[in-house]
A = this chain, B = another copy of it.
Amino acid sequence: MAAPVPPLGSTRQAELYRAGIAGQKPPFPIVFEDLVRAAQERMTPEAFTYVAGGAGGGDTIRANRAAFDRWRIVPRFLRDVSQRDLRVNLLGQTLPAPVLLAPVGVQGIIHKEGDLATARAAKALGLPMVVSTVSSHSIEDLAAALGETPRWFQLYWPADRDLALSFVRRAEQAGYTALMVTLDTIMLGWREGDLQNAYLPFLHGEGMANHTSDPVFKKALLLPPAVNPISSMAHFLKVAFNPKLTWDDIAFLKQNTQLPILLKGILDPDDARKAVDFGMAGLIVSNHGGRQLDGAIAALDALPRIADAVGDQLTLLFDSGIRRGSDIFKALALGARAVLVGRPYCYGLALGGEEGVKFVLHNLLADFDITLGLAGCASAAEVTRERLHMI
């Protein structure tokens, strides 16, 4: 599937530096903090707060970053790292790098092309995209845009098993190769910024592409979506969140699909052990980028505890707070096989659509590639906990 990627870092640097000789500055900011500011200027205040904000006053977001600061990389030298192999094998697929595009819904509020632009960028880079249940384009349309690029489907399990199964079937048929069940959204987090703005994208009809195109969903409506969008929205909100979700549902899903299932949001070692018992293919250690549980443990602080508990029994991924190559490195060192990146590419999307997403992710891969080499690792597999020092 994905071809081996040549060392990206130096090539990317050369590209950017050489442009400078011709008087060309990069089209978008490279310094992460500048990227955020630029995106903020481009987006509506409501959309920016929705994307960048988090639960409560942002405490979990801050905790996520602070955790990265406490772990420091201890490089080794004088090993031939000229051929760095960024590839990782994930559930039988070879990825060009240990990076997936995190599922981000309602991308239509970020850019008019929404996740279609994101999918095109993912395809261009060969990076797997995890398509959100509340994507701005349908499972099928995004699959078409992704072509041969690996794609996973992220399931916000609705309060209607038939609808859940319908989503799963559509994903199976559209060539998605794994299911990622998000656990931490059984209800919406208390997001002070969004509440202050009284802004929820779904109430503006965003993020419902998979629902309004779904036969099960449509059957539950009195009037077809095209005739009465309000009816769709009301039903969407009725089924969107499911605080009754239990391990029984997970068992049910497992019985009803051949796709590997990963649970996203696990932060407790006991939950991780239970996931092993239920035959899960993997876990995503994540606090939803600080968007859901205010005051939550930093995802990176949870990672080694979960790796210690179950790290060799299923595939561990990491999500929440990845901003730079060194963050990827640290997550791998603490037990993750790969990471999910969310907000960074959204800022790229805001600024330049497909080009913006590519720009941000290309830089991130280049940064990670260089981090890998400078840390003395010729491949992601060489990134172990010995390479870290905690302060």
Q: Which residues of A contact B (CB under 8 A)?
A: 7, 9-10, 13-14, 16-21, 24-26, 29-34, 56-57, 59, 63, 67-69, 71-82, 183-184, 186-190, 192-200, 203-204, 237, 241, 243-247, 249-250, 263, 265-268, 270-271, 274, 292-298, 301-302, 324-327, 329-330, 363, 366-367, 370-371, 373-375, 389, 391
Contact = CB atoms under 8 A, between A and B. Distances in A.
Contacts of A57: 31-33, 324
A209 B301 CA distance: 48
A69 B74 CA distance: 20
Nearest to A196: B30
Contact of A78 (B81, B271, B375): B271
Contacts of A237: 14
Given A75-B268, A75-B293, A267-B74, A20 B198 contact: yes
A59 B66 CA distance: 12
Q: How many copies does the complex hold?
A: 4
A29 B193 CA distance: 10
Contact of A81 (B31, B186, B192): B186
Contact of A367 (B29, B199, B294, B374): B294
A172 B190 CA distance: 40
B246 A296 contact: no
Contact of A301 (B72, B81, B266, B370): B72
A325 to B, nearest CB: 6
Nearest to A200: B17
Given A18-B203, A57-B33, A189-B370, A13 B195 contact: yes
Contacts of A297: 72-74, 389
5 contacts: A17-B195, A20-B199, A21-B203, A59-B326, A74-B296
A373 B31 contact: no
A268 B72 CA distance: 12
B187 A370 contact: yes
Contact of A326 (B294, B302, B375): B294
Contacts of A371: 190, 293-295
Given A32-B57, A59-B326, A78-B249, 6 more contacts: A21-B204, A63-B391, A73-B295, A77-B183, A77-B266, A301-B391
B296 A73 contact: yes
Contacts of A301: 72, 389, 391
A298 B72 contact: yes
A26 B367 CA distance: 42
Nearest to A32: B57
Nearest to A296: B73
